[in-house]
Amino acid sequence: MKKNILLFALLSIITTACMPTTEKESMTKNLEGLVAPVATKKDSILSMHGDTRTDPYFWMRLTDDQKNAETPDDQTQGVLDYLNAENDFTENVMKHTSDFQKEIFEEIVGRIKQTDESVPYFSNGYWYYTKYEEGKEYPIYCRKEGTLESDEQIMLDANQRAEGHDYYSASGLNVSPDNRILAFAEDTVSRRIYTYRFKNLETGEIFSDEIENVQPGAAWAKDNATFFYCTKNKISLLSEKIWRHKLGSDNTNDEMVYQEHDPSFYIGVYNSKSEDYIIIYNSSTIVSDYQILSADNPTGKFQEFSSREKKHEYSISHFGDKFYIVTNWDAINFRLMETSVDATSKENWKEVLAHRDDVLLEGIDIFKDHLVVSERSNALNQLRIINQTTNEEHYLDFGEQAYVARTSTNPEFNTNTLRYYYSSLTTPGSTIDYDMNKRTQEVKKQQEVVGGHDPGQYTTERLYATARDGARVPISLVYKNGMRKGGDTPLLLYAYGSYGATMDPYFSSVRLSLLDRGFTYAIAHIRGGQAMGRQWYEDGKMFKKKNTFNDYVDCAKFLIGDEYTSASHLYAMGGSAGGLLMGAVVNQAPELFNGVIAAVPFVDVVSTMMDESIPLTTNEFDEWGNPKNKDSYDYMLSYSPYDQVERKDYPNMLITTGLFDSQVQYWEPAKWIAKLRDMKTDDNILMMNTNMEAGHGGASGRFERYKETALEYAFFLDLEGKVLVD
C-alpha cells in the first residue's frame, strides 16, 4: 500500500500558519503511519464498436439484494470493506479538523430558527402550513379550517413516522377533495422508492391500504375514493405504470390505466389546479405528451391531449373552458397557446403570446382575472403580470444585479394576490404577496438568520467571462465587504450545467460560514443550463457537451486573470451531473484548482449509459447520447471522467457518495477514486466519504445533513490554512 505523503505537504502549509514549528513536526510524525486504501484490481473487458476497454474496478457493482442482504457474500463484503476503508481514511486525514467541523456544524445549525413555520396558504376551505419544532429533524404538516384563528390540526408528524429509521422522507402529500383523507408517500431507504399510505384526518386512523414501489405524486377523483398513482420498474426505477385504486380495497386488484412502453420517458399523474381533470404526463428529455380524464368520471378512459411528436415539449394548464399550453412548437424559447377543452389536439391551438428570441418562457400561473408569466432573460428571472380584462401588463422590479424570483404556492383562482418567492446572494429568501391590481406587495415572511444577518455587509456582482468560442458566460458572485481582491483571496466556483437546470443566485445562511472566513462564492451559469435561454441548453448537451466543461474552465481562467483569485486559492464544486463537470475539468485543467469537491458524481459515463438496467439511463439518451451508436460512444468516451483519468497531477479532492443512491450509483465514484489513486502522480489529498445509510440527497433531517457540509467546508478551509489545530 502507498503512503499518503500528500497529507504532509498540506499540513506544512496549514500548520506553518497556525502553530509553532515544534508542534508542526510532532503532528507530521503522528501521521507517518497513515496510508490510503488500495482497491483490488479484477480486470473486466468491455468491448463495443471494435473498441476494447479494460475496467479493473467493474467488480464493485452490487445489486440492491446484495446491499440489503443480512449475510453479505464475498463480493459484497469486499465492496463494503473497501468503502469503509475509504471512510476510515477520510476520517483520519480530517481528524485534526474534527473540532473545527463541530464548530462549523454548530455555527450552521445555530443560524437556523429551531421553532419555525411556513407562511400558510389557503386551499379548499383550509389554511395549510408546515412547522418545525426545536431540536426535531423533520417537518410537521398542519392545517386550520376556515381562519388562522381556528384550532390547529396536525395531519402528519414526520418526526414520529421517522422513529426507528436511519433515513426518512415523506412526500406527495395529497388531501382528498372532501378534506377527509390524507394520502402520503414514505421512503425509509433513500432509494426514492416510496409506499403510499392513507390517513383519516377526522379520526387519525391509518387505513390498511398500502401501495408499494410508488413515485410520490398522485391524484384524487372527485368521488373522494378513487386514487390514481404511479409505480416504478423494480430494476430501472423508472416510473412506468399508472393505476386506479379504490380506497379500502385490496390494491392487488387495482386497475392499470396507462403503461409507458418507451423507457426514455418519465411518467406521473396529478390533478389540474382547477381540480377538474386528472392528468397523466409523459416526459423525456425532448418530448412531452399528456392523457386527460374528467375528475367527475373516475372510471372513465383517459384521452390523449395531443399526439406524441418527436422534439415537442409542452405543458398544459386548465381554466374554465380552455387549456393553456406552453410549447416549443416552432419556438425554441417557447410560446403560449390556448385551445378549447373539447378540441385539445395541436391543430386547434391558437397563439396567445408569441415566441421571442431573447426571452425564455418558463411557465404560467392562471388566475380569474390575471395571467402571470414566468420568463428568463439575460440569466435572470422575470415575472410578467397580464390583466386579462384590460390587457394591461407590467413586470415586477427586483432591483438587484443577481437574484431569483419565482411564483410560489397559488392554489386559488379567484384572487388578485400573487404569492411569489424572492432571494438573492445577499437577501434571505422571502415569501411575498403581491396585489396584481394595486401593484402593492407585502412581505409575509423572510427567512430568519438566528444571530442576525445584515445584507449590507456583503456585495454581489454579475460578471461575464468570454468562452473560447466567443460565448459570454454569466457569473454571479458574492463576498463580504472588505474582501481584498487579489491572488491570495480564496474563491469557490460552483456550477451544474445539465438538463437545462439553471443554478439561480439564491441566499444561503450555510454559505456565510465560508464568506465570513474570507471566501468569495461564485456561480458559473455555464451552457447545459438555460440561464441564457433554451439555446444555452441545446449548446451544452449531446455532441456539444464539451461546451459545458470549456465554459467552466474559461470562467475559472477569467476569475484568475481578473485577479479575483489565483490557481493556488481557487476551489471547485459540483454534484451529480455537476460531479461529472468536476471530473471533466480536473482532467482538462487540473492546474487551475487547489481543491475540488465532487458530490455524488456521474463519472463513468459510457459504462452507465450502456446499461439500461441502471436507473435514469434510458431516459437520458437525448441528454448524453446512446453509446450503442458509435458516434455517441466515441464522443462520450472522449470526455468520460473515469475513462479519461491520466497519469498526471490532480488537485486536492474530496469525493462524496451514498451507498443507496438511485440517481448516481455509488460504484461510479468508488471506481473513480480507485483509478485516480492508482494513476495520479502528485502528493495531493484524495479521499472519499460514503454515507452508508443514504442516497443521492445525503442524510435526511434538517440538521443531520449539515455534518456533511461541515466536512466539505473544513476541507476547503483546511487547504487555506484557516483551521487552527490543537
pLDDT tens, residue by residue, 333-355? 999 999 999 999 999 999 999 99
At residue 32, the pLDDT reads: 54
Alpha-carbon distance values, 55 to 46, 577, 639, 674 (Å): 7, 22, 16, 11
Considering only 18-27, 102-111, 274-283, 547-556, which range has the smallest mean pLDDT? Answer: 18-27
Q: How do strand 322-327 and strand 335-340 relate by DSSP bridges?
A: antiparallel
**Phi, psi (rounded to 5 degrees) for 353:** -125, 125
Whole-angstrom distance, CA of residue 240 vs CA of residue 584: 33
Residues in the chain: 726
Reported as a pLDDT band with limits 50, 70 and 90, residue 255 is very high
Q: State the pTM of this model.
A: 0.88
Whole-angstrom distance, CA of residue 194 vs CA of residue 186: 5
pLDDT tens, residue by residue, 71-127? 899 999 999 999 999 999 999 999 999 999 999 999 999 999 999 999 999 999 999
Whole-angstrom distance, CA of residue 322 vs CA of residue 334: 19
Under DSSP, the state recorded for 577 is: H
Q: Is 239 a catalytic residue?
A: no
All structural domains of the chain, each given as residue ranges with its CATH number in brackets, are 6-110+458-719 (3.40.50.1820), 165-304 (2.130.10.120)
At residue 25, the pLDDT reads: 34
Reported as a pLDDT band with limits 50, 70 and 90, residue 422 is very high
At residue 70, the pLDDT reads: 85
pLDDT at 377 over 80: yes
pLDDT tens, residue by residue, 426-460? 999 999 999 999 999 999 999 999 999 999 999 99
Alpha-carbon distance values, 565 to 14, 517, 518, 592 (Å): 19, 15, 12, 11
Q: How do strand 169-175 and strand 152-157 relate by DSSP bridges?
A: unpaired
For helices 98-110 and 706-719, give the axis angle rounded to 10 degrees: 120
Q: Which listed residue (513, 576, 640, 662) is catalytic?
A: 576
Taking residues 250-259, report their average pLDDT: 95
At residue 662, the pLDDT reads: 72
Taking residues 680-699, report their average pLDDT: 81
**What mean pLDDT, rounded, does the chain reach?**
91
Burial 682-710 (b: 16+ CB within 10 A, else e): ebbbbbbbbbebbbbbbbbbeebbbbbbb
Higher pLDDT, 712 or 399: 712
Q: Is 576 a catalytic residue?
A: yes
Query: Quick check: 185 and 195 in contact, CB under 8 A?
Result: yes
Q: Which listed residue (539, 554, 661, 718) is catalytic?
A: 661
Q: Is 661 a catalytic residue?
A: yes
pLDDT at 26 over 60: no
Higher pLDDT, 696 or 479: 479
Whole-angstrom distance, CA of residue 380 vs CA of residue 504: 8
At residue 697, the pLDDT reads: 53
Taking residues 240-260, report their average pLDDT: 95
Distance of CA 540 to the CA centre of its chain: 18
At residue 694, the pLDDT reads: 60
Taking residues 156-171, report their average pLDDT: 93
Reported as a pLDDT band with limits 50, 70 and 90, residue 214 is very high
Neighbours of 247 (CB within 10 A): 16
Q: Which listed residue (239, 640, 696, 718) is catalytic?
A: 696
